[in-house]
Structure 1
Amino acid sequence: MVNEGAEGRRTRTLRAEGALKALTSGPDSPERVRRVLEQALVFAGAAFAAVYTPEEDGDLLCLVESAGVPRTLYGLRDSYPRSGSSPVADSHRSGSPVWLGPEEPAEPVEARRTPPRDFFLAVLPARGDGGGGCLLAVGERPDGFDTEDRKCLELIADAVGCPAPARSAEGGELPADAFSLAMDSGRVEVGDDILELFAVTRAGFDGKVETLLGLTVPEDLPSLMSVVEADHMSIGDRELEFRVLQPSGPPKWLRLRGRLLPGGEGRPATLVGTVADASKLRSEVTDVARVQRLAAMLATAGTVRDVSQAVVSALLGPLQADRIALAELEGDRLVVTVLEPPEPESWPELWRLEWRSEWPDAPVRAMPTLAAALREGRAHIWPAGTPLEPALADVGPGGLAVLPLPAAGRMAGACLIGWDTPHDFGPDERALLTASAGLAGQALMRAHAFDAEHELVGMLQRQLLPRRLPKLPGAVAVARYLPTTAGLEVGGDWYDVIPLPDNHVALVIGDVQGHNAGAATLMGQMRTALRAYAVEGHPPDVVVSHANRLLMDMETDLFATCCYVDVDMEEGSAWYVRAGHLPPVLRHPDGSTEAPDTEGGPPLGVLAQADFPMSVLRLQPGTVVALTTDGLVESAEADIDAGMERLAHELSVSDPAHLGLVADALLGNARRSDDIALLLLRYDGMALRPLRESWTVWRVPEAVGHSRRFTRRTLRAWSVSRDDADTVLLVVSELVTNALVHTDGQVRLGLTLLDNRLRVSVADSSPRTPVKPTSIGWEATGGRGILLVEAVSETWGTVPVSGGKQVWAELVLSP
């Protein structure tokens, strides 16, 4: 709405008269009626306006044109019986206006979701040249339609006219640019101009709509099918643009405007409308299709920035504006999301000083005129020469438009549009700005919710998957995860790399059924469980069996697939287990590939008593092991076998020296209809293998002495110095003694030497971790063992092992 004071409000009716006079002076057409209705949005503050006219031979008042937000927000019907009790029928019969507030009972709506807030309804008889119809307007302002609003609505009702519902007369000829499609049979009558646009002769046209659809660009066919199929087309207006193939040259853009008219009494529903050459229409600034194109762009805009870019694309060029800014309202500050053009010198100096170069935000109170516009909640337009504060005046010296963006009962932000040269604001531009503001505000709120959900999903996925892969002895591992491109972007695919004792590494990849937060949560639980079972030292089949029993005990209907590979880095061998999952793919050093066809078990969570057979792999230095989920190798276009062959081929021609590039190349052509997890390991072999010896400690009185003699012999064979050997013997004595005194069952001593680091480990059957005492008195006879181990060792710790534990200590030996 124009920024107007009391004097402006008194002249609003005069301006409405001038705008309507200009519109009604042209030829009668559906486009003229719609532009007249748009004046209700501009001058009466309506959110929606429509005209209903009676059928020629029926008992219905049918909606023939509308403007504004979708009517479904208010539950308005496409038609009302003349003899019914609706406000439309009451106004039509009585010839008097009907004004209803939100608290007054009425039946203008059908069963629907509750509107986001209360609204006011106005129905006025339309006494134009057509006669016999009604103008319906919906307002959302808290005070309803004031006196000036009602006067403007009366003017619009007189000017709108009442075009009859367009229906092909039996045996009559259609206008050259019109068509009439019977929705039950698909037979279509078309004018000569339409046939010329499709490059079809009258003699060569068989009257079937499929014939015309076959001449369109395939990418545009789904949108057209949504119009011509009765199951998808709703009663009311529809407008879209599509391309039609030409005998030579590029496709031609056409625009379809149609309306589905209800059938009855044996008469089928009919789609009537026009088709025109869109290349002649696309340059019109006042074209209503621009608002519809903006709505289509906003419907697919997922983020706040996407919404902002859509608004810029829809308004900057058509309005021939010099700059546009879109900002969100957060508290009392405006946070700018898009500036076009983005160069700082294109904007007022005050903006550059207050908002700095990155334009973060600015207080609304710094621009009182803008603050007032946001409070009022209407579009404001200031022509050239209007005195404004410098922060706004320099945005549009030739004219400035401020569009508050309403959404869910509050202001979501504001859009500022500025011109450098004096700009004449016509009624069509005002209507375009008003309609665009409402669409942008709602889309901005949806984008905020999407951004918040997307950030939550991303955080959840990042927390459930490994943050980084560990460095491995004798191998390099890389992983990639891609969420599906549709939906919530969170799923059940996971991977893990688990370092194990004795230079073993577990590779895990899995997939939980589903693509939702429940699947992701279960994925996190399964990954944690498998890691815990693996660290305990179980073999692969036991690890997977434990995970299967755990999933069976959970209260869930979901299942999971998994492939678990235990790689021995010292020996170059691996044992793996499959639970309903794809086998690993091996790339050998000579470039050949192999996907072992071995037996596997069922998915996890399906059978309580399931067998998971183990299979062996032999790895030569330079071998690449690839584990993936089915999202990489299976799609609607190709089965899983073809996908595995493609993966093996791409792996064979890759350069394993750069494993990260290999992973990126494998994912480059992925069809992301599903989540994808990929884990690659290149086995290089250990350049230096550790020395290992072990000893079973028998529970006899001389057990500690036997352990010391075994250790002394081993250290002598490894050429460990006498001073270092004495320290190692002390650690062995204390750890073996603690195990014999405080546990039952078997005790086993292990010694490992690698690069001047000696590891002493003692495993027992007790899960209790030794506790380091906080203080020991002089009279105490025990408790000093762990303190001695800690004092002479570089580091020490304990890990669970198969129902018991392993206490270990590492010492740095002299060179």
Structure 2
Amino acid sequence: MVFAGATAAAVYVPDEQADRLRLSEAVEENPEDGVRFPVSFALSGRSAVAEAFRTRHPVWHASAETGGAEVAGPRAAASGAAADATGEDGGEWLEAVPLTCGETLLGCLVVKGAGLNGVEAERRGFLELYADQVAARMESEGACAAGGGVSGPVPAARSGGSGLGLGDLGSLTLSPANGRIEADRQALDLLGLAEEDFDGRVETVLAQTVPEDAPALMSVLEPSAGWPGGHDLEFRIRRPGGVLRWLRLRFQVLADQGGRPRLLGVIAEASYLRSAGDQVSRLQRLSIALAASMTVGDVSRAVVTALRDPLGADCVVLAELHAGRLVVTGMEPQELAVWGTWRSQWYSEWPDASLGDLPTLESVLRQGRTRLWPSSIGLEPGLAATGPGGFAALPLPAEGRVAGVCLLGWDRPHEFGAEERALLTAAAGLIGQALARARARDAEHEFTATLQRSLLPRTLPVLPGCTAVARYLPATTGLAVGGDWYDVIPVSDRSVALVIGDVQGHSVEAAAIMGQIRTAIRAYAVEGHPPDVVMSHANRLLIGLDTEAFATCCYVAFDVEEGEAWVVRAGHPQPVVRSPDGCVLEVEAEGGPPLGVIAEADFPMTALGVAPGAVVALFTDGLVESSKLPLEDGVRRVCRTLAAADPGGADRTADELLGTAEWREDDVALLLLRYDGLPIQPRRASWSVWRLPDAVMHARRFTARVLRSWNETREADTVLLVVSELVTNAMTHTRGEAHLHLTLAGERLRVAVSDSSPRAPVKPASIDWMATGGRGILLVEAVCAAWGSVPLSGGKQVWGEIELPPEPAAAGARREAARS
């Protein structure tokens, strides 16, 4: 299946004393015919074997005589191209593939055969995979010493021998399009499957795998044609009788003629790499730690803990690959100066670098293979100081791509044994899968958190005479986005609306409905509707959204001047009020059904008096109810916490209340309002504007009388000018009733004119000297500290505020005496 017409294979290793490549082992199809390979090749010769060893690249040669011919590389390539073009069946072929251990050359794998009509791309791909497995076996036999060079004897050449296990390698192919596997007898034997019983299904192979290793193997069995280079995977299968066997799969993905991916794999026994029990235990500990890791940060800490001390590494770095940049997610020790070209850009606490600045790591990620160096000295500046005594780079495969890289460095000379290399290769697969899972979780959390934040108020407004604080916590189970919301709505200069609600469910749909309901309630409130009308409108809106979801809500309209409130509930928990003397009581507010249940539901209002120093608490049921906590007990606990809290610290009180929800099965929203009262009670006066030709004159006279009664002479001309312009605007551009409102609060005097037209005034972009109108709003803007227009009960209110200059102490005393 692997080599069409292959008849023999051999391994040549360098003989440094004789400057030649000597035969180490050979396997013949017909051993009785005798060994057909030359005993040695000169390293300086022009044979395909010597050329492959010198250039470190495979050499393919087609010729009638290939056994020991001293053939030049260029002529071999030309001969091979001609044979491919003719498609002839006759002749022989030979391919030599270098065997490497890190940066060290171990020798060459040579395969000979007859017939030139094979699938050349697959054959050459398999040869490279076989060469990798043979090199790993040679390494385990002591043929590769840490730091380079060939050391120790290599088993002697023999026909049909198995010193290097050349006959113990199995091969398989996979077509992801149909999920069918073709495997030779050796591969099936390694997998513990009988050749006559194998049905070619992926599921049959996965059934032999230990459950902990199945996810990594599944990611291999669903490859994409875009995977570059070769990849390693070590996994365990359970043999009959329960015995575990470690296998090493070396594979690469090619595209067939139709562009569909096709996986080529060579599988070998890897138990010899697992002789030390501590290596297995290290992998088990790493696997357990990664399974419990929920975030990328957790994965980074687990990797550092599992690899640094057990391997004696002086530094460990874990980096993710993002759009051509390596972003460090974990580093120990955390000394950024060591990393040269790495610089902080995306995450302020970690550095990152472009792959273009780190060609060594770029090559590792492109090949997808673990690389080991006896020293990092001589590498690019970003890596030169990481491992003077030894340096390892582990590409992290995950879901058909390379997710990142793990770097380990040693300050003192470090020898890489076969067992350690196997440990690092196996660890890379585990880390890559865990990193991909954690990145998906982090992305989901970021999405839900961003969605939730965008639907809730970013900040709460500054309110006169009171302080509002809010808290939101997502549920600790399920999707971290829900339908709980809160809002604080300044309705006018003297009233504010507190809203809290909960849409049924924990989903993106619940969050979307919550955003619509919150926006609608805010709009209804700002328009000036009373609390019961606001709730009725929101109820009909939710019913019209064509959703099965419903929502509970509590709306409190609060007058900050008088300390009076109106409470409306729609199936929501009662508000809780802490009086200034520390007594805490639930508000007995009559309620209606949840929003979205009954179209014509009534929502009665309940009056509530609030004294200065009191705290009003609104919350969702996630704070007071769970499967282990009845609602009544949760409310009592909140009352006790609120009674013992310091009413002067609203933020600390909110944090203490959240501490009562230890395990959140539901999300939690909390809204607190501490009412302090106004230090200076505003003075107000109102007048209905008559629609007469001299309406502006009457409005100015009324304003003058009010200012005299208030003993207020500061900025009187400015106030009268603003009254004239606002009343003129209402008389000219509207119909129906108009009302003038004057409010004096401290050093600010507010002039407001309300009318029945919802159209807001428009400030002209430019006015020439011949214009007869449009200057009024420009004058108001020029003389007022602030001005604006707000909707009000189907109409609008246009207002302007005039700042009054400080008055002398004697004038202030006379004013207070007159007021008293």
Distance 1:779 1:362 in 2: 65
1:595 aligned onto 2:738? no
Other structure's SS at 1:678 match = strand
Residue in 1 aligned with 2:668?
Answer: 676
1:537 alignment partner AA: G
Matching residue of 1:686:
678
Write the mapping of 1:39-438 to structure 2, written as runs, cut at 5 A: 51=190, 53=192, 66=209, 70-71=213-214, 139-142=250-253, 153=268, 284-287=277-280, 289-343=281-335, 347=338, 351-352=339-340, 355=343, 360-383=351-374, 392=383, 394-438=385-429
Partner of 1:229 in structure 2? none
Report if aligned partners of 1:69, 1:438 keep a CA contact under 8 Å in 2.
Answer: no
Is the 1:50–1:66 contact (alpha carbons within 8 Å) kept by the matching residues of 2?
Answer: no
2:792 to 755, 776, 801: 801
SS of the counterpart of 2:106? helix
Instruction: Kindly indicate whether residue 450 of structure 2 is the aligned counterpart of residue 456 of structure 1.
Output: no
> TM-score with structure 2 length normalisation?
0.67
**Match in the other structure for 2:92:** none
In 2: Cα distance, 1:502 partner to 1:366 partner: 60
Question: Is the CA contact (8 Å cut-off) linking 1:796 and 1:809 kept in structure 2?
Answer: yes
The answer on whether the counterparts of 1:53 and 1:63 sit within 8 Å (CA) in structure 2 is no
Match of 1:3 in 2: 102
Find the aligned partners of 1:742 and 1:536 in 2 and give their Cα distance: 20
Deviation at 1:306, TM superposition (A): 2.0
Cα distance in 2 between the residues matched to 1:422 and 1:727:
86
Code of the residue aligned with 2:253 in structure 1: it is: P
Change (3 A) 1:405 1:575: same
2:468 to 452, 477, 483: 477
Secondary structure (helix, strand or coil) at the match of 1:285 reads helix
2:711 match: 719
Which of 535, 560, 563 aligns to 1:569? It is 560
The residue number in structure 2 matching 1:542 is 533
Q: Equivalents in 2 of 1:50, 1:66: separation in Å? A: 14
- Alignment partners' CA distance in 2, 1:63 and 1:787: 78
Question: Could you report, residue by residue, the CA deviation over 1:663-698 in whole angstroms, capped at 9, with x for unpaired residues?
Answer: 111112422222111111111111101101111233
1:30 match: none
Shift of 1:651: 0.4
Matched, 1:526 2:506: no
With over 3 angstroms needed to count, the CA separation of the structure-2 counterparts of 1:625 and 1:54, relative to structure 1, is same
User: For the Cα contact (< 8 Å) 1:478–1:660, is it kept in 2?
Assistant: yes
The correspondence for 2:722, drawn from 728, 731, 734, is 731
Q: For 1:706-760, what per-residue CA distance to the aligned partner results, in whole angstroms no more than 9, with x for missing partners?
A: 4333322212111122x74444333323322332332222222211111132211
- Partner of 2:430, secondary structure, is helix
Question: For 1:702-717, what aligned pairs fall within 5 Å after superposition?
Answer: 703-717=695-709
Deviation digits for residues 762-793 of structure 1, max 9, x if unmatched?
11111111233445566655444334434443
Contact 1:54 1:133 in 2 (8 A): no
Shift of 1:563: 0.9
Whether 1:507 aligns to 2:498 is yes
Mapped contact 2:521–2:534 kept (Cα < 8 A): yes
Q: Is the 8 A contact 1:51 1:66 kept in 2?
A: no
| C-alpha distance after superposition, 1:631-652 (max 9, x if no partner) | 1111111111110110000000
Q: Does 1:16 align with 2:137?
A: yes
Matches within 5 A, 1:722-761: 724-761=715-752
Which amino acid in 1 is paired with 2:601?
A
Deviations, residues 121-179 of structure 1 (Å, cap 9, x unaligned): 99xxx9x999x9999875541269x9x985x73x779x99xxxxxxxxxxxxxxxxxxx
CA distance change for structure 1 residues 664 and 49 in 2, over 3 Å: closer, same or farther? farther
Question: What TM-score comes out, normalization by structure 1 length?
Answer: 0.68
Deviation of residue 362 (structure 1)?
3.5
Q: For residues 718 and 421 of structure 2, what CA distance do their matches in structure 1 show?
A: 89
CA pair 718-456 structure 1, distance change in 2 beyond 3 A? same
Deviation at 1:293, TM superposition (A): 3.6
CA, structure 1 residues 706+573, in 2 after alignment: closer, same or farther (shift >3 Å)? Answer: same
Distance of 1:743 and 1:371 partners within structure 2: 72
**What SS does the aligned partner of 1:316 have?**
helix
Q: Which residue in the other structure is 1:622 paired with?
A: 613
Matched residue count: 624
Q: Tell me if structure 2 keeps the 8 A contact 1:585–1:595.
A: yes
- Residue 506 of structure 1 deviates from its aligned partner by 1.0
Deviations 1:102-137 (A, max 9, x none): 9xxxxxx9xxxx666699999xxx9x999x999987
Tell me what 1:635 maps to.
626
Q: 1:70 aligns to what SS in structure 2?
A: helix
User: Counterpart amino acid of 1:720?
Assistant: E
Rounded to whole Å, the distance in 2 between the matches of 1:807 and 1:612 is: 31
Matches of 2:284 and 2:188 in 1, distance apart?
16
Amino acid at match of 1:142: V
Matched letter for residue 649 of structure 1: R
Flag the 1:354–1:135 CA change in 2: closer, same or farther, 3 A: closer
CA separation of 1:40 and 1:331: change in aligned 2, threshold 3 A: farther
- Shift, 1:538, TM fit: 1.4
Task: Call closer, same or farther: CA 1:542–1:40 in 2, change over 3 Å.
Answer: farther
- CA offset at residue 9 of structure 1? 5.8
Distance 1:421 1:790 in 2: 75
Secondary structure of 1:473's match?
coil
| Counterpart Cα distance in 2 of 1:388 and 1:609 | 76
Kindly, what percent of the aligned residue pairs are identical? 54
Structure-2 residue corresponding to 1:173: none
Letter in 2 for 1:324: V
User: Are the structure 2 counterparts of residues 394 and 752 from structure 1 closer, same or farther at C-alpha, using a change threshold of 3 Å?
Assistant: closer
Residues 101 and 139, structure 2, Cα contact 8 Å, conserved in 1: no
SS at match of 1:479: strand
AA of the residue aligned to 2:688: T
The answer (yes or no) to whether the contact 1:327–1:337 under 8 Å persists in 2 is: yes
Which of the two has higher C-alpha Rg?
Answer: 2
Partner residue, 2:457: 466
Q: Which runs of 5+ in 1 are unaligned?
A: 23-35, 77-101, 103-108, 161-280
**CA distance in structure 2 between the partners assigned to 1:305 and 1:468 by the alignment:** 29
Q: What's the secondary structure of 1:541's corresponding residue?
A: helix
Q: Which runs of 5+ in 2 are unaligned?
A: 1-99, 110-130, 144-164, 174-180, 256-261, 808-820
Q: Indicate if the aligned counterparts of 2:376 and 2:388 stay in contact, CA closer than 8 A.
A: yes
Aligned partners of 1:316, 1:19: CA distance in 2, in Å? Answer: 23
Kindly provide the CA deviation profile for residues 80-104 of structure 1, in whole angstroms up to 9, marking residues without a partner as x.
xxxxxxxxxxxxxxxxxxxxxx9xx
Please give the secondary structure, in 1, of the residue aligned with 2:311. coil
**Residue 71 of structure 1: how far off its partner (Å):** 3.5
Query: Which amino acid letter does the alignment assign opposite residue 16 of structure 1?
Result: R
